[in-house]
Chains A and B, each alone.
Chain A
Amino acid sequence: MIKKVLPRITLVTMVIAIYMIFSPASAIYGPAGEVLGASFRIFYFHVPLAWVSYLAFFIVFVSSVSYLRTKEQRWDVFASSSAEIGVIFCGLVLITGPIWAKSVWGVYWLWDPQLTCALILWLLYAAYLMVRSSVQEPERKARLAAVYGIIAFIGVPLSHFSVRIWATLHPAVVRGGQIGGYPVYVLLINILAFTLLYAYLFLTKVSIEEMSEEIQHLKRQV
């Protein structure tokens, strides 16, 4: 049931969300009331992507803890699927961020706390995928990956604090003007659309894993 409905809902929401991004009303105004350039519309992609990657990594953490407690294969499948999607989305954050930064700040990259944290996050979960790919036996792979999933997640807030005190040494970045009114709704519907996309990708990945599990099982029977 949900596997049939979800892709359609995701598609519809995504189309509405993208339409809203490019409608004139969603322009963001700077502090002085001027319309900020078209590059600002990438903000509507950037923020939902970041949100989804945080959500995905949180699910990796929850699944890892649950796996160690219950030793059920299901949780491992959840953790690996979520981590892969999270790394992709976090990578997109790291791509959209510099594109936006180039037109707003004039440089692609600044060691600003949020950018730096996104980079550390990406490195942590890329390392998580490395752990997964370097172990063969399914049981041990699941167990070691779960341990690393927990460690990586605990490292995130600590990195955030340390990066904050570190980045105060560098010139402060002026963030864009406050948003209010219509752009907030555009942002919210984009967050909804990307969360649905995540849910859809997640379910697809889980069912792929289940199918490959079944094939392995059938092969063994033959």
Chain B
Amino acid sequence: MKRCLDIARKDLRSEFRTKQMLNSMLIFALLVIVIFSFAFGPYPENIDQLAPGILWVAFTFAGMLGLARSFASEKEQGCLDGLKLCPVDRSAIYMGKVMSNTVLMFIMEMITVPVFIVLFDYSISNPLELGCIIMLGTLGFVFVGTLLSALTVNVRAREILLPVILFPVIVPVIISAVLATGKILSGTNDIWAEIRILGAYGAIFFIVALLIFEYVIED
């Protein structure tokens, strides 16, 4: 566990020195929201149906940028080989990467959500539930995304391959998170079914990823 934290800390430290990734994720997420607002016009009638989708498209697209760099940045100067030589379990590398990716996603989301709320004029009556859904959705996305990011790291055209293979797998996360966010924004609190799917998704893929991660970075 401590080793996972060490790997995560190393990632975050090198990230916060430049903040390059974080800044581009953040700007990209904001851009997605703004561009969707332009595309749907200033006062669309069915904004309650569109808004949750916009939010999650922003999260997943921006998250994709972070994930694509997550392992690719390790390739420079052979850091990945160094990591693999460390006397730690391979799953510790996965855990560490999951932690650093999650932290980056959370920071991006903590800034994006207030902007979203201001732009679309929502008042959140139950921020706790919204936070819970965002957390579960983000975890599910990061669990799968980190594994697939490692899978594509040594592949040619990885920038294209990662979204193509990641999006079909995270369909359940997007569907459930968008539904639940929509319900929270409109004031209904019956989100138990979505929470169950998000929870099951996160748990299943976390365990599977821990089991098969070592095959992904074997070479």
Identify the A interface with B (CB < 8 A).
68, 120, 123-124, 127-128, 130-131, 134-136, 139-140, 143-144, 146-148, 150-152, 154-155, 158-159, 161-163, 165-166, 169
Contacts and interface: CB of A to CB of B under 8 A. Distances in A.
Contacts of B179: 165-166, 169
Given A131-B161, A165-B194, A166-B176, 19 more contacts: A120-B171, A123-B167, A123-B168, A124-B169, A130-B161, A130-B164, A144-B151, A144-B155, A150-B212, A151-B147, A151-B205, A151-B208, A155-B171, A158-B200, A159-B171, A162-B171, A162-B172, A162-B197, A166-B179
B156 interface: yes
Interface string B192-215: 011001001100110010001001
Given A140-B154, A147-B151, A159-B171, A165 B197 contact: yes
A162 B175 contact: yes
A25 B208 CA distance: 49
B165 A146 contact: no
A161 B218 contact: no
B185 interface: no
A151 B148 contact: yes
Contacts, number: 88
Given A151-B148, A166-B179, A134 B157 contact: yes
B93 interface: no
A20 to B, nearest CB: 36
Interface in B28-55: none
Given A161-B197, A162-B197, A151 B169 contact: yes
B141 to A, nearest CB: 13
A158 to B, nearest CB: 4
A140 to B, nearest CB: 6
Contacts of B167: 123
Contacts of B215: 68, 143, 146-147
Interface in B68-122: none
A139 B155 CA distance: 13
B147 to A, nearest CB: 7
The winner among A68, A159, A162, A169 for most chain B CB atoms within 10 A is A162
Contacts of A165: 175-176, 179, 193-194, 197
Interface of B: 144, 147-148, 151, 154-157, 161, 164-165, 167-169, 171-172, 175-176, 179, 193-194, 197, 200-201, 204-205, 208, 212, 215-216, 218-219
A9 B155 CA distance: 43
A65 to B, nearest CB: 9
Nearest to B177: A162
The winner among A140, A166, A169 for most chain B CB atoms within 10 A is A166
Contacts of B218: 143
A165 B182 CA distance: 13
A127 B176 contact: no
Contacts of A123: 167-168
The winner among A123, A131, A147, A163 for most chain B CB atoms within 10 A is A147
